[in-house]
A = this chain, B = another copy of it.
Amino acid sequence: MNAASTTSDGDLFRPVSVDRVSQVIVDQIKQLIREGRLANGDRLPSERDLCQRFGVSRVTVREALRVLEANGLIEIHVGSRGGAFVASPTKERLGEGLADLMTLTQLTPANVTEARSIIELGILPFVVERATEDDIRGLRLLLEEAQVALSQDAYTMSLSTTFHVAVAACAHNPAIETLVHSFHGPMLLSLRQAQIAAPDMGRRGTEEHAALVDAIEKRDVETAVAVMTTHIDRTANLVRDIEPGD
C-alpha cells in the first residue's frame, strides 16, 4: 500500500508541511481571534514588527494581512497611528459574498425574487411574534421617510430594500437578518430595471409596506402574509422575463 515501506509502519515518513508561509500566518492569527486573545478593535503589531516575530519577510506578512482583510477579520488603516485592527466580520461582508456568488453565477432576477419570497414569507410568523414596540416605531419611521421621498419625487428602490431588511430584523435572528441583507444588493440590481417599466411602483409599494406594518402591530400573521404575498408577486411579475446579467 505504501510506496516505500521497508518496515511494516508507513508512518515513518509523513508528508512535510506544504502550506504557504503566509497561509500559516493567516491561520495563526485567525486562531488568536477565535480564542478571543485578539478581541474586536485590538490593534495588531506593525508589519515590520510582525516580520521579526514570525521570522519572515514583510511581503509574506502583507499577503497574510491581505487575506485576513479579504475575509473581513481585520481592517487596515494607514498613517501614523495606523495598522491592522481586528474587526468582526459584519453582515454586510457576508452579504457581499452572497451577492458576489449570485452575480457571478447564472442567476436570474426571477430566481432571486423567488428565493426572497420564500424567506420573507417564512419569517413573518416570527416577525409578528417577536417584533417589539421599538421595532414597529422604527418601521413607521422608514414609512415616513418613504412618504417624504415620494412627495419629492425622490423615491429610490433602496428605500424599499432597507424596509424589507428592517422587517427581517424584527425576527430577532441574526442569521435571518444576514440572509435578507444579502439579498439587498442583487435585489436592487434587478429592481433597477423593473422600475423603469413601473414608475409608480414606489407609491403602491409604500402603501403595501404600511399595510404590512399595521398587520405586524396587530399580530395578525394571516394578513401580513397576504400583504407580503401580493407585494412580492408584483415584483415577480415585473422581473419575470429579465435575462441574467446586465
Residues on A lying within 8 angstroms of B by beta carbon are: 22, 30, 33-36, 59, 62-63, 66-67, 69-71, 73, 88-91, 93-94, 97-98, 100-107, 111-112, 114-115, 118-119, 121-123, 126, 173-176, 178-179, 182, 245
Contact = CB atoms under 8 A, between A and B. Distances in A.
Contacts of A34: 103-104, 245
Contacts of A59: 59, 62
A82 B91 CA distance: 34
Given A89-B100, A91-B101, A118-B123, 18 more contacts: A35-B245, A59-B59, A66-B66, A66-B67, A66-B70, A67-B70, A70-B70, A102-B175, A105-B178, A107-B175, A111-B173, A111-B174, A111-B175, A111-B176, A114-B175, A115-B173, A118-B122, A122-B122
Given A70-B66, A70-B67, A119-B119, A178 B102 contact: yes
Residue among A34, A91, A103, A111 having the largest count of chain B Cβ atoms under 10 Å: A111
